[in-house]
Amino acid sequence: MRVAVLAVQGAFIEHIKMIEQLGVECIELRQKADLEQSFDGLILPGGESTVQGKLLRELEMFEPLQKRIKQGLPVLATCAGLILLAENLSNDERSHFQTLPVTVKRNAYGRQLGSFYTIEDIDGIKHFPMEFIRAPYIEEVKTGVEILARVKDNIVAVRYQNQLAMSFHPELTEDTRLHETFLQLIKSSLEKS
């Protein structure tokens, strides 16, 4: 099993460390040629979604990755990564991969509450530490999207088919349980194929 981490901008190193700590090999996606290597799952890290979206297009990685996600490549997306996957953004004219049928609001907690820490349950995972940094949240989900967690009444984690997306940063904590869930998702998707 091998996991690819989008490494054009943002907090990708922390994801790589966590996946390697769990004993799984990682590759970095920095340019189009990196897509020629084989990988079974994709991580879209936090950062600045506008910059990531622009770089993905300029580097010609946008279409091949969108195609693979549509075909069922397992994805773990955090914060800006969630924004990249969202079908709609309620406060931005741009949209990116549009493979996750949800509406996301960017910088949704406003300036003052933009960054905060809390501990909440996620479906099947008790007391998960959640680090929010200028975070988005999910305003609306379409049929087939499973809501995994809410904070302050807002949806902050979802799963849709092989896409696991959250508005906080599990890679910035010591808790590896969401990354383990993602590796399980990859494993079962490999078993099915």
Helix (H) or strand (E) holding 83: helix 80-85
With CB under 6 A as the rule, give the number of residues binding ligand GLN: 11
Measured from the CB atom, the residue of 133 and 148 that comes closer to ligand GLN is: 133
26 catalytically annotated = no
- The verdict on 95 binding ligand GLN (CB under 6 A) reads no
Q: In the complex, what is the shortest distance from the CB of residue 81 to ligand GLN, in angstroms, rounded to a whole number?
A: 7
* Beta carbon nearer to ligand GLN, 21 or 91: 91
Among 134, 150, 177, 187, binds ligand GLN (CB under 6 A): 134
| β-pair type (154-160, 163-166) | antiparallel
Closer to ligand GLN by CB, 36 or 82: give it: 82
Q: Does 79 bind ligand GLN (CB under 6 A)?
A: yes
Neighbours of 87 (CB within 10 A): 19
Minimum distance between the CB of residue 135 and ligand GLN, rounded to whole angstroms? 6
Enumerate residues 6+ apart whose C-beta is below 8 A from 33. Answer: none
Residue 40 to residue 173: CA distance in whole angstroms: 24
Q: Which of 14, 15, 79, 87 is an active site residue?
A: 79
Instruction: Determine if 9 is a binding residue for ligand GLN (CB under 6 A).
Output: no
Instruction: Quote the Cα angle for 175-74-30, to 5°.
Output: 85
Residue 139: how many other CB atoms lie within 10 Å: 17
In one-letter notation, the amino acid at residue 89 is: L
- Residues with Cβ within 8 Å of 92's Cβ and at least 6 positions away in sequence, in order, are 50, 106
Reading the block at residue 165, the tokens are 């997306």
> Closest separation between CB of residue 38 and ligand GLN, Å?
28
Instruction: Print the binding letters for residues 48-77 with ligand GLN: x by CB under 6 A, - otherwise.
Output: xx----------------------------
Residues interacting with ligand GLN, by CB under 6 A? 46-49, 79-80, 83, 106-107, 133-134
